[in-house]
Structure 1
Amino acid sequence: MTAEQQPERIGRYVRMVAQPGRGAALADTLLRVASGLRDTPGCELYLINLSADEPDTIWVTEVWADEAASDRALSADLGDVGIGEVLELLAGPPELVDLRPLGGTGLPTG
């Protein structure tokens, strides 16, 4: 399948910087968010990454079947973890990089 034939998946990298010394708490909270998204329709990947050289910086790698799936899931209560729990740990607003996933190991094929 060529890039033009790919479904309209969306992806993003999200960089979150925790308040000083709160990186582990942010990571734990985001891991609970990821666990809650495990069976969410349209969520193909929600991966939590700790920066190798910045202990208070977390990167989230997301892949969604489409924009609507992302909007539905991330505007919900996120199960036991509300978005407010994540926001209260942040030192500033998250930084987003929007992507158009084309494929690769680990992604389901159309």
Structure 2
Amino acid sequence: MFGQVEKEPGTLLCLMHVSSEDPDVVWMCECFADEAAFERAVSLVHAEVTKRLRELCVAGTEAYRLGLVAGKGLPRRLGTTRVPTVRRRRPRFRRG
């Protein structure tokens, strides 16, 4: 999955976190340069990866679209142009 993400133009950030309270809960956080980059990320290739991940999930996934207000480590130009789209998912995976 991350090999594909590295090739996606406009994907500025893609992070995977595992909950310290429940190792079956995984958070994905993605930040895109603009709406076009977001649309590319949810293309057929990304949809196939998401489909495979959902097959592993117990409770499905939740997606949230957020507007970035501030942050560290992203290109400064984002603060003066369009606010990037941030998408977070919270899948809960089956054990074993």
Please confirm whether the aligned pair reaches a TM-score higher than 0.5, indicating the same fold. yes
Separation of aligned partners in 1, 2:62 and 2:27: 9
Tell me how many residue pairs correspond in the alignment: 76
2:41 equivalent to 1:68: no
State the partner residue of 1:6. none
Q: In 2, Cα distance between the equivalents of 1:48 and 1:95? A: 15
Equivalent pair of 1:48/1:61 in contact (CA under 8 Å): yes
The amino acid across from 1:69 in the alignment is A
Q: Which runs of 5+ in 1 are unaligned?
A: 1-32
Answer whether contact 1:49 1:59 (CA < 8 A) is retained.
yes
AA aligned to 1:97 is: Y
Distance 1:100 1:84 in 2: 25
Give the Cα separation in 1 of the matches to 2:72 and 2:56: 32
Structure 2 unaligned blocks of 5 or more: 78-96
State how far apart, in whole Å, the 2-side matches of 1:98 and 1:73 are: 13
Q: If the length of structure 2 is used for normalisation, what is the TM-score? A: 0.67
Q: Which has the higher contact order (CA 8 A, sep 6+)?
A: 1
- Deviating beyond 2 angstroms after TM superposition, the runs of 4 or more aligned structure 1 residues are 81-84
Relative distance call for 1:91 and 1:51 in structure 2 (3 A) is: same
Q: Which amino acid aligns with 1:86?
A: L
CA distance in 2, matches of 1:34, 1:74: 14
Asked whether 1:102 is paired with 2:64, we answer: no
